[in-house]
Amino acid sequence: MLAFGLVLIPWIGLGLFLLPKGWVKAGAVVLAGVEVLLFARALLAPMPSSLAVVNWNWIPSLGVHFHLSLDGLALFLVGLASVVTLAAVLASPNKQGPAYYFWILLAESTAIGVFTALDLVAFYVFWEVVLVPVFFLLGGWAAGPARRTALKWLIMNLFGSLFMLIGVVAMGVVHAQETGHLTFQLASLAHTTLVPQVAPWVFLSFLVAFIIKAPLWPLHGWMPPAYSDAPAPVTAVISGVLSKLGVFAMVRVLVPLFHAEMAQAEPWLMALAAVGLVYGAELALRQKDVKMVAAYGSLSHMAMMALGIFTLTQAGLVGATFYMVAHGVMLGGLFLLLGWYEERTGSRALTMLGGLNQSVPKLTAWFQIFALATLGLPGLAGFAGEYMIFQGLIQNNITVAAVAGVILVLAAWYMLRLFQGAMQGPRATGRSPADLTTAQVGLIGALGLLVVVLGIWPAGVTSHLPVLAPPATHALAHASHRKGGEPA
């Protein structure tokens, strides 16, 4: 029930339309706060499964179950969604109307739905519904050519997910033909074997949808305009929470359902992610807009998570999952800071600014912490995730590990360039903007605390994660496949 409650409560946000104008934000904060409390309840006390799981026979005629579970894999991503949403709601300007808050809450609800769904159709429903609130957040309130940005987001994402619909239905139909039992439960579908002519296409339909949603190179076309046009809290939600949907789905759906296909395609997948890693970092280095540095940096980080997943090793998968949580908190905070930065300076151009550390010391300090966490400083959240991913990479493919190592240096470079350009050096303008308010310091301080906690105690998360790697027998088959020989 708790999982269902987490999905349901944001819908109460419809009531925001009835509140008087001054109370709308307070109402949204309450709802987002309740979500965080529910997560805390799930985290702190061990629960009987009846509380953590709902499994209703939703549409018996189609074999669809409404199966949500707060399992170890989902738990911390749900937490990430609730925390980042609360932070985004708190950081939103007071003038926003009820629709804005409702769409943010709805994005949270559907993201939690994707994280907790264990039935493929329920998963697909949340996966697609999440597009609607973001479409409105991008198109309704953002600046400039926002309408085209919103339409691009929608059409690119639905392009992927509609082909995935064929894959979803095909999994169910093939399973029904094999067993005579129509179901879309992930646990049952994991034992379905597709015929060799169909399997690669179904796998591809899922993979492309996940790559677009993440986004990973080369299907990241919607990302730059969306991150650039959206207001800072919305960017924080998209990059902090929603970008995790794609990589999370790889762990949740691809690894159990298609590990044979993944192992077969592993060199290609690795190459794809490695190119994305280099591409994102390279573009982040060239950006002149502070928000775009972080956006392309994020593209590179997503590729890092994908690399971890594609290793198909326990270390890589755990590392990627941990990195999703850490990255969400870091990037959420970073984009909020950049939003405040833009608010104060009126500009996002890297070259125009500089020397802000003299006038806004608090903003500079927090910015530095988040920048260092993002580039993977040991002791902060980013490092632990990257370390585990490296462990998986070295077990699996030493060449890609070497490439990733070089990229870590680049990552340090572009983040420090961002920090230096914006904050240090001679003052570019004569104005002296106001520093962060106490409320803003409190908000970013809470996120900063999380970054530190995750950095020094990653086991708090990783010990909850289940065994994610495919069973050993499969791993053996993969190994022999990679060497090109027959299993011994």
Partner 1 sequence: MMHFLEPEIIAAVGVLATLVAAMLASSRSTVPYWFGLVFSAAALARASMLHLSTHLYGGAVLGDSYSIVVTVFTLLAVMAGLLLAWDPDKYGAEFPALLQLAGLGAMVMGFAGNLILLFLGLELLSLPLYVLAASRRTPLGGEAGLKYLLMGAFSSGILLFGAALLYGGTGSMTFVNFTAVHVVPGLMAAGLGFLLVGLLFKLAIVPFHMWVPDVYEGSPTPVAAFMAFGTKVGAAAALLRVLAFGFSLSAAWWGLMLGYLAVLTMIAGNMVALPQRDLKRLLAWSGVGNAGYVLVGIASHNLLGAQAALFYLLPYGLAILLAFTVVRVLEGREESPVTLASLKGLAYRQPWLAVGFLVAMLSLAGIPLTAGFIGKFYLVRGAIAADQWGVAVGLVVATIVGLAVYFRPVQQMFAPGDGASGRFTVGTGVVLAAAALGTLFIGIYPEPVLHAVIQSARFTWLH
Q: By the criterion CB under 8 A, which residues form the site for partner 1? A: 58-62, 121, 124-126, 128-129, 131-132, 135-136, 139-140, 147, 150-151, 154-155, 158-159, 162-163, 165-166, 169-170, 172-173
Tokens at residue 31, please?
Answer: 């709802």
Which CB atom, from 173 or from 187, has the smaller least distance to partner 1? 173
| Closest alpha carbon to 120 in 189, 214, 58 | 189
C-alpha angle 384-311-74 in degrees, rounded to nearest 5 = 60
Minimum distance from residue 119 beta carbon to partner 1 (Å)? 13
Amino acid of residue 288: K
Letter for the amino acid at 283? L
Residue 170 CB, nearest approach to partner 1 (Å): 5
In the bound state with partner 1, the residue whose beta carbon lies nearer, of 18 and 40, is 18
| Residue 65: CB atoms within 10 Å | 21
Quote the least distance from Cβ 151 to partner 1, whole Å: 6
Which lies closer to partner 1 via its Cβ, residue 58 or residue 387?
A: 58
Beta-carbon neighbour count of residue 230 at 10 Å? 27
Q: Which is nearer to partner 1, 185 or 391 (CB)?
A: 185
Please count the other Cβ atoms lying within 10 Å of the Cβ belonging to residue 28: 27
Residue burial 87-117, b: 16+ Cβ < 10 Å; e: rest? bbbbbbeeebebbbbbbbbbbbbbbbbbbbb
Strands 53-59 and 64-69: antiparallel
Nearer to partner 1, 200 or 355 (CB): 200
Residue 259 C-beta: closest distance to partner 1, Å: 23
Number of alpha helices (DSSP H) and beta strands (DSSP E) in the chain: 24, 2
113 within 8 A of 122, measured Cβ to Cβ: yes
Residue 174 CA from chain centroid, whole number: 31
Q: 154 or 475: whose CB is closer to partner 1?
A: 154
Q: Helix or strand or coil: residue 56?
A: strand
Q: Give the gyration radius of the chain's Cα atoms.
A: 22
Q: Is 487 exposed, middle or buried (0-12, 13-18, 19+ CB in 10 A)?
A: exposed
**In the complex, what is the shortest distance from the CB of residue 219 to partner 1, in angstroms, rounded to a whole number?**
14
Minimum distance from CB of 34 to partner 1 (Å)?
A: 22
Q: Please, which residue, 60 or 430, has the CB nearer to partner 1?
A: 60
Residue 471, SS3 per DSSP: coil
Q: Identify which of residues 131 and 216 has a Cβ nearer to partner 1 in the complex.
A: 131
CB of 132 to partner 1, least distance (A): 6
The candidate with the shortest Cα–Cα distance to 242, out of 445, 103, 44, 65, is: 103
CB of 464 to partner 1, least distance (A): 30
Which C-beta is closer to partner 1: that of 165 or that of 479? Answer: 165
Min dist CB 78 to partner 1, Å, is 20
